[in-house]
Amino acid sequence: MLNLLIYLMIFGGSALMVYNIWGFIHFAKYLQAQKMWKRGIRILYMPIALLISFLIGYIIVGVFGKPDIVMASVLLGGSYFVYIIYKFLNSITEQIVESERLDAALLAAEESNRTKSNFMAMVSHEMRTPMNVILGLDTLALNEPDLSPQTEGYLKKIGASARMLLSLINNILDVNRIESGVLTNNPAPFCLQDVLEQMDAIAGTLGSQKNVSYERKSALPDKQRYMGDEVLLKKVLMALLDNAVKYTGAQGSVVFDVREIPQDKDNVQLQFTVSDTGIGIDPDYLPKIFEVFTREDSSSTATQGGSGLGLAVTKKIVEQMGGTITVTSRKNEGSVFTVSVPMQKMEPEAEEVPETQEEGYGLAGRRILLAEDIPENAEIVMDLLDLEDVVCEHAENGKIAVDMFTRSEPGYYDAILMDLRMPEMDGLTATRTIRASAHPGAKSIPIIALTANAFAEDIKESLNAGMNAHLAKPADSDMLYHTLKKFIIRPA
């Protein structure tokens, strides 16, 4: 019985050694295929030769020798030891390969994200450039004298539709900012009444197109000013109003309520409530309504349209402003979205009187250097500035702009409007060149980016290059005038 056990152990160890040899052969081939062993590849086969010699020894002992239980235990133990070493090496190698695979996948994802971001930036730039022409010409046309009411109505509708299209383009930027973790809040004084009137005009137009009644309730002073990010606030309100009208059927209603909740002497909570009598939200979907890339009924995508901003993006913007957003809803009865954002109340300022009526505070007679390579864009900006009696000189690219500025007398130009993408020399390089020049006004002259490059990184690059501000095309004429006044107007 003992002899049988001894021979079972010896030949069992021999069989295990055969498996070990087979495993090491495949292990060596695997390393070669993965190109993990670039030189001295023959060393991988040395253990195989050693194990074959062990196997031969096992067989000789089992067939010709007289092994005892100790020898049989040593031989079997040796086979198990080699087996454990093989499995250990194989496990380490698999972990290394998996780690390298994950690293490669991460690099591929990062490269894909960079490619997508570059593509989005390019598409956004190409779309914003013709939008600049459309909105610019619409603004100029509305300033023409003796317009008939019908023509004025057409132009206003063109402008409203163009701005709706622009909002779709801007949403591309918002999605990119959120995916990149970059969403900036830039507080500045603004008049809330102006914002509400813009919301009324857009929501009223959308409602009339669907036969949905729209009403705004507000008891705030007309000219009350607050410190906050007007642009982000508009995005939030427009997204909520757009959804309310979109998901409300004919004969329904949308109510926009605005309230001011005092906090202390200077600070308040502005509360915006958008109520509708639309299709409502399913209770099971309500907890997920602010999640990214979710939609209650994907089949409605083709028929409902929409801005693409999404409630997830809206929530991110509200949180960036330090506020909160909540929702209550009943299926087939309607929804109520409530946004609360903290704001600082501002004292009335002298600019409520038109600045152009104050001596030394107007833009009339100021001289602007415009660097713009697209003739149509340059013509529109020059015409918009002409409405304010601003003298504008045009440079076709950054190199010409640098030459015109450096050869000018000190104080000749009051500001520079700089495009970013131009032939010969781009706007960033031109700005750095101007700032580094020996011209007496090189460090002080306001340089303002006026470009279709509107991503957060574009704004950062502009400021890092030495620009004072960044305006994205199509630039609103009032924003253009306001920015120029902010940087170049000084008391007489």
Dihedral sign of CA atoms 154, 158, 159, 161 in order: positive
Per-residue model confidence as pLDDT tens digits over 374-385: 898 899 999 999
Same-domain pairing of 303 and 363 = no
pLDDT value at position 353? 40
Q: Which residues contact 234 (CB under 8 A, 6 or more apart)?
A: 195, 198, 199
The answer to whether position 456 is within a domain reads: yes
Whether residues 296 and 415 fall in one domain? no
Query: What's the pLDDT tens digit per position in 204-216?
Result: 878 887 899 999 9
Q: What is the mean pLDDT of residues 264-291?
A: 90
Check whether residue 273 and residue 315 sit in a common domain: yes
Q: Are residues 308 and 370 in the same domain?
A: no
69-103 pLDDT, tens digit each? 877 787 788 888 888 887 887 787 778 778 878 88
Mean pLDDT of 402-430: 95
Rounded Cα distance between 164 and 168, Å, is 7
Q: What is the CATH number of the domain that holds 204?
A: 3.30.565.10
Model confidence band, residue 39 (pLDDT cutoffs 50, 70, 90): low
Q: Domain check: are 343 and 366 in the same one?
A: no
- Tell which wins on pLDDT, 171 or 416: 416
pLDDT in tens, 113-142: 677 667 766 776 677 778 878 888 888 898
User: Domain boundary at 47, 80, 109, which?
Assistant: 109
Predicted pLDDT of residue 258: 95
Question: To which residue do tokens 């295929």 refer?
Answer: 33
- Pair 92, 202 in one domain: no
Query: What total of structural domains would you count in the chain?
Result: 3
Which span out of 8-17, 239-248, 410-419 was modeled with the highest average pLDDT? 410-419
Rounded to whole angstroms, the Cα distance separating 262 from 219 reads 14
161 in a domain, yes or no? Answer: no
pLDDT top residue among 456 and 170: 170
Is the domain of 392 the same as that of 446?
A: yes
Record the pTM: 0.53
Q: Which residue has the tokens 């009943």?
A: 330
User: Could you tell me if 196 and 333 lie in one domain?
Assistant: yes
Tell me, yes or no, whether 138 lies in a domain.
no
Containing domain of residue 29, as a range?
A: 2-109
Lowest-confidence segment of 104-118, 264-278, 291-305, 474-488 by average pLDDT = 291-305
pLDDT of residue 6: 79
Q: Give a yes or no: residue 74 inside a domain.
A: yes
Q: In terms of domains, do 9 and 46 share one?
A: yes
Q: Are residues 260 and 308 in the same domain?
A: yes
CA–CA gap between residue 264 and residue 141 (Å, rounded)? 46
pLDDT of residue 157: 83
Q: Are residues 188 and 214 in the same domain?
A: yes
Alpha-helical regions (H) of 331-437 = 375-386, 398-406, 427-436
> φ, ψ for residue 214 (rounded to 5)?
-130, 135
